Structure 1
Amino acid sequence: MFPLDLNVLGEAVLRGVTSTLLPIIQILLPILLPQSALPTYPQLIHLRPQYDFIVVGAGSAGSVVGARLAEERGWSVLVVEEGGPPPPRNQGTSTLPSTTPPQHPTDCRYSTTPQRHGLKGYVNRVGRLVCGRGIGGSSQVNGMMYVRGARQDYDRWAALGNPGWSYNDVLPFFHKAEHYIGPDTGAVYGRGGPIGLKGGLDGPLTNAFLKGGVQLGFPFSDVNSHMQLGFSPSTFTIRNGKRSSTADSYLHPTPPNLHLLHSTKVLRIIFNEEKRAVGVELEHKGKLVKVGVRREVIVSAGALSSPQVLMLSGVGPRDHLASHKIAVVADVGGVGANLQDHVGVNGLVWTLPPDSGFLTQYFNAFKQYRRDSSGRLGTPDTELVNAWIRVERESGDPSWPDTQIFLSGISPVVDKGATYPSIWGLDRHRFKQYFIDILGQRGMSIRPTLVQPLSRGLVNLRSNNPHQRPAVNPNYLVHPKDVNRLIAAIKFSLTLGNTTNFNSIGAKFYTKALPGCSHIEYGSDKYWSCYVRHMATTTYHYSGTCKMAPPSDPLGVVDHQLRVRGVMGLRVVDASVMPVVPTGNTNAPVIMIAERAAHLIKQDWTQH
């Protein structure tokens, strides 16, 4: 066993990886980010009896669509958020890109049902499903990685019967949101939009990763350019050295005709006899309140909560609603179905030689950020870089990636396992048993991730109590091809990690057999299949549960204008409307969906 030496301690301080060091960081944060520099969101005092639009959720989508609708003079907009603003003592750690806590106090903390085909290395075979709960939603707590997805993703959406959602159709709405900071010689990004974008750290691991990709014959390109396939530098949602969440970018300052009501739960949508949404029922400060709507209710509660809101309001599968004694307003069988998520394999670790200069780097970074909000503290906590490859050789477009290879410059064992198991829900005893020989050592990890999963899951109500979390069954790895692709992705990761440039910086793969798989020949396909079923889990990219589809699709919930089937005056705007999850991180596509939804809504109502 290796002690946590001063250099590793310095590394942990800078990267904010252990909960025990967060109090130290929080003591220093007021010097870097005084309260006057942080956005504030005071609670709404005077709630009107009726608004033109009510948006359920102030997250990555709701903040955007609410702010854009409030651009129209004469329109009143209410945005209701179950969570609140970041607690004062935690606001700095969510704002400073290098110090987001691994378990943020605004985490919504869902979990999966026990998984039959995977999660063997997790407590009770249950995975933690992190998402944002509070103003800004997941954009306030995510890894800030900005990835639009592949051109083919959106062309597929359109081909599935959703006109207006091809790549050429949606690209202007990506550009509308973006403000790229730095040289963009290829004119890939937009400028002047609310969301700040900039590159991350460029160090020896990033260089080894990118050069390793070239060595293996892959192109070097920007993931957000016309072709996603290849090895790419990373782009993050950061502006002026601070996290660029949708709340801070769109709702601060709050538009005068937008009312933001936080710490308030929407219990259900109210319909009249014509099945038109005419308001919402809220729980605010322990009291039930009904608020009317003149035009539309827009549900932007996220892919796990939006189907719950619809079902509690009587919109969903008839038999399922009846089983919970909920009156059926519209029998829409696809609500909660079609759940998709990117699945990544944890635990592939390379050890690295100690970094003797880390404490010096930390203090220099502190001084630099205090001087001009630049440098290392104003970027994500470590080197983070991706490759986008295709492991499926037999069929499909060879230029359309099905796998993300994600390198993190921080090892799961750097803090001796103090935080990593609890972040993911891993069995702590098994984790320490596996990594006992390298606990506390400096290292890196590569996480192969399936970005075109074939498995589909389901979100169901547990009861008609709106305070009870729904049952979330992602059905991870139920499709055998998902396992086979992850095996191929692991083999690719090992080949990449053994390229010349990684060898030259002393990276060494940890080859101990995983407990639970040690009886199988190490390195065989059967061994890696066992490894996948033990260690693969969520990448927090839940989507598809209110699918956008034509009337002929029995699992469709909204049409191509995001209007809910069987009712009027109701739309869904968030990741749940994605027919198929894009091949990349989902925050950028959600922002695009919200930008385009606001455009569609404005078109509808300015023509009346």
Structure 2
Amino acid sequence: MENLLLLLMSVLLGLLLKIPNGNGDPGRGRAPDLEELRRLGIGNVVNVPLYSDAPLGSYDFVVVGAGAAGCTLAARLSENPQWSVFLIEAGGVENIMHQVPLMAPSLQTTASNWGYLSQPQRHACRGMPDNRCSLPRGKVLGGTSSINYMIYNRGNRRDFDGWASAGNPGWSYAEVLPYFLRSESAQLQGLEQSPYHNHSGPLSVEDVRYRSRLAHAHVRAAQEAGHPRTDYNGESQLGVSYVQATTLKGRRHSAFRAYIEPIRKQRRNLHILTLARATRLLIDEATKSAYGVELLHQGRRHRVRARKEVILSAGAFNSPQLLMLSGIGPADNLKAIGVPLVHALPVGKRLYDHMTFCWGGRNTFLSSIGGVETLTFLKVPRARTPSTQPDIELVQVAGSLASDEGTALAKGANFRQEIYDKMYKELALRQQDHFTFLIMHFAPASVGRLWLHNRNPLEWPRIDPKYFSAPEDVEYLLEGIKEAIRISKMPALQSIGARLLERPVPGCESLAFASDDYWRCSIRTLSYTLHHQVATCRMGPASDPTAVVSPQLRVHGMRRLRVVDTSIIPVPPTAHTNAAAFMIGEKAADMIRSDWS
């Protein structure tokens, strides 16, 4: 019955969301206009009007991208009734299926995901067609917060202290914690009096309402293995915890639901345009000042002017793309594609991402937030980081790629059909309980990059994360695998019959099962990424040759132009990036208010 229910919901989701999104993406159709969406019933399902404010000639602030940072920023700036704010989003509006946490995996295969793929990888993603990794990014009002797995994880205090010590004053842990708190409305059992949580912000953070017996068994097993219970958003990250989720009464609480929907009708100074594609910035080259944005909407080209600032909140791929299309970026790349250089900056020259490895055991049903139930933060023997900073995260998931009988999970992860057929299909047919650990390395040494192939604003940028180009990254995941296996052998998990799924990964059959070399091969095959790309518009002082924006998030060498999203994060954080995106939006709003007040 449970599998049938999930299948029916997946089919319904397909009917609701599988609309061609166009925009020149490979293999995609023409972008739907508002009338098409209404005809398909999306407006009726959402039960709110589609957001389509006809652009006026000018606004005080133009914000490009309505993800976590963009929604936060637009909502906060529009608190000043004297300021007009225009928020531009390339995607549409959430519908009821976005609010169902269980459906997170299925959302990866819809038009709410940009659907980016990496360049073919030499050392990773061998389980994917052409070794091209799936790189999910939200394309909807709410951004990636509307399609992700809703894990709320701020990071380690040493992350932010490191930003500050690298020449970014104002970004230490003590200085960013108030912005995390400002955004949060926590309903977490046992943490009601914690100074690390707030209960009055816009964004709901709560315990997941459904927990399988495996979740409880894993928390006990991790403790038996020596990992203490912890609040990973509190004093110490190290240890095991039930996941804290961005949900409200069991429903997804995206940036749209938290920041935009509650104030939309009251804020006449906030205009929002969905299904609109920003194509370039309007720049006065003589003064190097941004004064607006050019965009496409319903087949028409518009120019919208900004009296005070243009702010890019389009994410780790689209913000650098817009900068480069506008002549701000690496001189060699821009010359090669015929874009006149306005200002040379290392846009897209650095790209970091967290890689995970899917390790499965037998003995459970997908839970509330796409199956994620518990998190364990741990040190590994080869660690060179401080003793208080985790190196590996174990994301315990109830179920696996077999949980929906191959209808959405494997496709959303972009794994080849052979992977599903040989490893997971039998589990689905037997309907046997099983679970998965996603093993994530926080501080990869591999560094990728992003560039433009041509000057067409409707084509994807080229993205090469260069996963596992530093072999040590594989070794960290190997040590994480060994710890996950050790935890699985603790009495609490053994008591429910947990055991390793002894089915060799395709391509690794010649290696002794469970040997180190077998796991290394598996890591490079079953590698997967989780929406955590950073550093393509890296923050740093003007003296830093790798920096694109200043500590005030202003684009170096430019006027009236900022970047406010996770692309400014300078190094991989010890965290998922959704919580940080809200914090960045809150902090940027204060900096902008200070500048213009």
Length-normalised TM-score, structure 1: 0.88
- Shift in CA distance, 84/417, structure 1 to aligned 2, threshold 3 Å: closer
Structure 1 counterpart SS, 2:317: coil
Counterparts of 1:104 and 1:404 in 2: how far apart (Å)? 28
- Shift in CA distance, 451/257, structure 1 to aligned 2, threshold 3 Å: same
Choose from 497, 514, 519 the match for 2:510: 519
Choose from 68, 71, 79 the match for 2:79: 71
CA drift at 1:513? 2.1
CA drift at 1:109? 0.5
1:426 aligns with 2:421: no
Counterparts of 1:72 and 1:48 in 2: how far apart (Å)? 19
The match for 1:146 is 152
The match for 2:235 is 226
Choose from 457, 464, 467 the match for 2:458: 467
Deviations along 1:476-534, one digit per CA (max 9) or x if unpaired, are 00111101101111111111112111111122210122221121222222111111111
Deviations along 1:381-408, one digit per CA (max 9) or x if unpaired, are 5452110111154522022011110110
The match for 1:95 is 99
The residue correspondences of 1:200-215 to structure 2 (distance < 5 A) are 200=208, 201-215=210-224
Greater mean alpha carbon deviation, residues 523-532 or residues 16-25: 16-25
CA drift at 1:474? 0.5
Structure 2 counterpart SS, 1:62: helix
The residue correspondences of 1:280-291 to structure 2 (distance < 5 A) are 280-291=293-304
Counterparts of 1:17 and 1:421 in 2: how far apart (Å)? 17
The match for 1:307 is 320
Checking the alignment, whether the CA contact within 8 Å between 2:283 and 2:290 is kept in structure 1 is yes
The match for 1:380 is 369
- Shift in CA distance, 261/482, structure 1 to aligned 2, threshold 3 Å: same
Counterparts of 1:300 and 1:80 in 2: how far apart (Å)? 10
The match for 1:293 is 306
Checking the alignment, whether the CA contact within 8 Å between 2:362 and 2:433 is kept in structure 1 is yes
Structure 2 counterpart SS, 1:304: helix
1:495 aligns with 2:486: yes
Counterparts of 2:101 and 2:426 in 1: how far apart (Å)? 32
The match for 1:189 is 197
The match for 1:5 is none
Choose from 508, 519, 530 the match for 2:499: 508
The residue type paired with residue 168 of structure 1 is A
Identity %: 33
The residue type paired with residue 251 of structure 2 is K
CA drift at 1:22? 4.6
Choose from 394, 404, 411 the match for 1:415: 404
Counterparts of 1:335 and 1:186 in 2: how far apart (Å)? 40
The match for 2:519 is 528
Checking the alignment, whether the CA contact within 8 Å between 1:342 and 1:452 is kept in structure 2 is yes
- Shift in CA distance, 227/182, structure 1 to aligned 2, threshold 3 Å: closer
The aligned length equals: 562
Checking the alignment, whether the CA contact within 8 Å between 1:205 and 1:383 is kept in structure 2 is no
The match for 1:438 is 427
1:44 aligns with 2:52: yes
1:390 aligns with 2:389: no
Moved over 4 A (4+): 15-18, 21-26, 34-39
1:321 aligns with 2:334: yes
The match for 1:368 is none
Deviations along 1:143-177, one digit per CA (max 9) or x if unpaired, are 11111011111111111111110100000000000
Greater mean alpha carbon deviation, residues 465-474 or residues 42-51: 42-51
* Structure 2 alignment gaps of length 5 or more: 18-41
CA drift at 1:442? 2.5
Structure 1 counterpart SS, 2:236: coil
Length-normalised TM-score, structure 2: 0.90
Greater mean alpha carbon deviation, residues 571-580 or residues 179-188: 179-188
Checking the alignment, whether the CA contact within 8 Å between 2:7 and 2:404 is kept in structure 1 is no
Counterparts of 2:292 and 2:197 in 1: how far apart (Å)? 39
The match for 1:372 is none
Checking the alignment, whether the CA contact within 8 Å between 1:41 and 1:85 is kept in structure 2 is no
Counterparts of 1:289 and 1:23 in 2: how far apart (Å)? 32
The match for 2:395 is 406
1:242 aligns with 2:251: yes
The residue type paired with residue 496 of structure 1 is I
Structure 2 counterpart SS, 1:407: strand
Checking the alignment, whether the CA contact within 8 Å between 1:39 and 1:248 is kept in structure 2 is no
Counterparts of 2:520 and 2:491 in 1: how far apart (Å)? 27
Deviations along 1:26-49, one digit per CA (max 9) or x if unpaired, are 9xxxxxxx9899563534344221
- Shift in CA distance, 16/159, structure 1 to aligned 2, threshold 3 Å: farther
Greater mean alpha carbon deviation, residues 434-443 or residues 251-260: 434-443
The residue type paired with residue 514 of structure 2 is G
Checking the alignment, whether the CA contact within 8 Å between 1:16 and 1:22 is kept in structure 2 is no
Q: CA RMSD in A?
A: 2.2
Counterparts of 2:383 and 2:271 in 1: how far apart (Å)? 53
Counterparts of 2:84 and 2:96 in 1: how far apart (Å)? 31
Structure 2 counterpart SS, 1:305: helix
The match for 2:27 is none
Counterparts of 1:438 and 1:44 in 2: how far apart (Å)? 46
The match for 2:176 is 170
Checking the alignment, whether the CA contact within 8 Å between 1:203 and 1:383 is kept in structure 2 is no
